[in-house]
Amino acid sequence: MFYLRDPLWNTIPVDPVARSLIDTPAFQRLRNVRQLGLAYLVYPGATHTRFEHALGAYHLARRALALLDEGGALDDALRAESGIVRAAALLHDIGHYPFSHALEEIGALHHEEVARPLVTGGEIARLLTDAYGHGAPARVIALIRGESDGALQGLISGSLDLDKIEYLRRDAFMCGVGYGEIDPERLLNTLTILVDPETGRRRLGIVEKGLAALESLLFAKYQMYRNVYWHHAARSATAMYKRLVSDALDAGSLDAGSLAGFTDEALLARLERDHPSPLLYGLRTRRLHKRSFECPAAQLSGDECEWIAEDRVLVARVQQALEREMGLAPGDLLLDYPAKTQMLGLDMPVLRRDGTVVRLRAGGLRGAIDLPKLSEELYRSARWLRVFTANRTKIPPEPLLKLLRKPAAEVRGMLDRGSRMIAE
């Protein structure tokens, strides 16, 4: 066993298998991939990396498994699976792209899919197989992708997974904000293994006294999205980065298959060499695009404007058409609507004080937690539709919103016919 010092969790014991995994080139790359992407342009302390976060998730996995074992929740079979769970916690972000999740928003493979060949082949697969036997790499990737039917899946991917606890605490700490305040010890101490009343299968659950701590976790996530992850300046920088990389891909200056191999700075250096752009200069010097239009999701209904979050090709065409109409240079106008996320998802068994086990979903439990309507309202208040421009440009808000609310097919038809995007 050897020990690492961490500013958030203090001392992290690392077992020999984990140490070997940490020393692989694929894992070491994470030292140079920022956890919060371009948020450091807003919060100067947000320069922490996926490397630190992965170590924190591993630490929480060790702690959670030890507490479950002390509480008698682990039988021999689950105890034997502990090494696989620790490895999955350590490796869960190994496929991450430079600057966090931004590239997934322009159609790049999800980072968990990128992780598959890294975990199931090469040096990492050999280390896992040597330590935990044949099939270990497949079991690890199943946990990372949320596809395992094992009782400990919820530690890696679920309502109360360790990834969520770790990143909320670390991100808030490094940004210097109080929004991510949660009680990890209370949460970990109230975890247990329960028989799901609906499926009859064992899965990770929580005892009823831990529901208040769970509620604080869910509200912390909302606060962090509203104030950090979806901060308007952070979203401006992200939109600039997405357009920059998307244009480079379209021009053949970058290959999509190689994106996951870059570090943050290596990708920017490649772009400076092969695809210099005012957008890149703006990111390097913090000359961020300004808000010229914004509208909260709460003012939209149904699936209005979802094509902005989902259809990269259509968004690119609309941006180019609006730039031409307004006499702007390429890259001067950016549409931004953050990709949908489940703000306050709940689905886990709860051991009630009377000894019964019930399923906690978004509908909540009578007298305990009831967040379905509130969670949707919180989500919609955190998410904003915005148009950023290189210089603050006056855009008629009503005609613009009328355009953006049109269904994707109608917008595509307007482009195909060469119609004006915004009526005069």
pLDDT (tens digit, 9 = 90+) per residue, 377-421? 777 788 999 999 999 888 999 999 999 999 999 999 999 999 999
Highest averaged pLDDT of the listed ranges 81-95, 299-313, 374-388: 81-95
- Kind of pairing between the strands at 2-6 and 10-14: antiparallel
Average pLDDT over residues 293-306: 92
Domain contains 298: no
Domain contains 152: yes
Phi/psi at 28 (nearest 5 deg)? -65, -30
**What's the confidence (pLDDT) of residue 372?**
54
DSSP state of 128: H
Domain contains 379: no
**What's the confidence (pLDDT) of residue 159?**
80
Question: What is the pLDDT of the chain when averaged over all its residues?
Answer: 92
Domain contains 22: yes
Say if residue 369's pLDDT is above 60: no
**Confidence label for 122 from pLDDT (cuts 50, 70 and 90):** very high
Domain contains 49: yes
What is d(CA 108, CA 377) in angstroms, rounded to the nearest whole number?
Answer: 29
Which of residues 101 and 356 earns the better pLDDT score? Answer: 356
> Which residue, among 353, 349, 70, has the nearest Cα to 195 in the 3D structure?
349
Domain contains 327: no
Domain range holding 197?
2-230
Average pLDDT over residues 74-85: 96
Say if residue 374's pLDDT is above 70: no
**Confidence label for 370 from pLDDT (cuts 50, 70 and 90):** low
Which of residues 211 and 63 earns the better pLDDT score? Answer: 63
> Which residue, among 156, 173, 185, has the nearest Cα to 90 in the 3D structure?
156
pLDDT (tens digit, 9 = 90+) per residue, 284-298? 999 999 999 999 998
DSSP 3-state assignment of 411?
helix
**What's the confidence (pLDDT) of residue 368?**
57
Q: Is 301 exposed, middle or buried (0-12, 13-18, 19+ CB in 10 A)?
A: exposed
Domain contains 405: no
pLDDT (tens digit, 9 = 90+) per residue, 141-160? 999 999 999 999 999 998 88
Q: Is 170 exposed, middle or buried (0-12, 13-18, 19+ CB in 10 A)?
A: buried
Task: Please tell me the pTM assigned to this model.
Answer: 0.94
Which of residues 198 and 131 earns the better pLDDT score? Answer: 131
**What's the confidence (pLDDT) of residue 295?**
95
Paired tokens of 97? 């792209």
Question: Which residues are CB-contacts of 78 (< 8 A; sequence separation ≥ 6)?
Answer: 68, 150, 151, 152, 193
Q: Which CATH number do you get for residue 69?
A: 1.10.3210.10
**What's the confidence (pLDDT) of residue 340?**
73
Report the amino acid identity of residue 143: L
Which region among 188-197, 280-289, 359-368 has the lowest average model confidence (pLDDT)? 359-368
**What's the confidence (pLDDT) of residue 21?**
98
Domain contains 368: no
Could you give the angle at the alpha carbon of 219 between the alpha carbons of 216 and 222, nearest 5°?
155
**Confidence label for 100 from pLDDT (cuts 50, 70 and 90):** confident
Total of domains in the chain: 1
Question: Which residues are CB-contacts of 301 (< 8 A; sequence separation ≥ 6)?
Answer: none
pLDDT (tens digit, 9 = 90+) per residue, 34-78? 999 999 999 999 999 999 999 999 999 999 999 999 999 999 999
**Confidence label for 181 from pLDDT (cuts 50, 70 and 90):** confident
**What's the confidence (pLDDT) of residue 178?**
86
Which region among 23-27, 281-285, 303-307, 378-382 has the lowest average model confidence (pLDDT)? 378-382
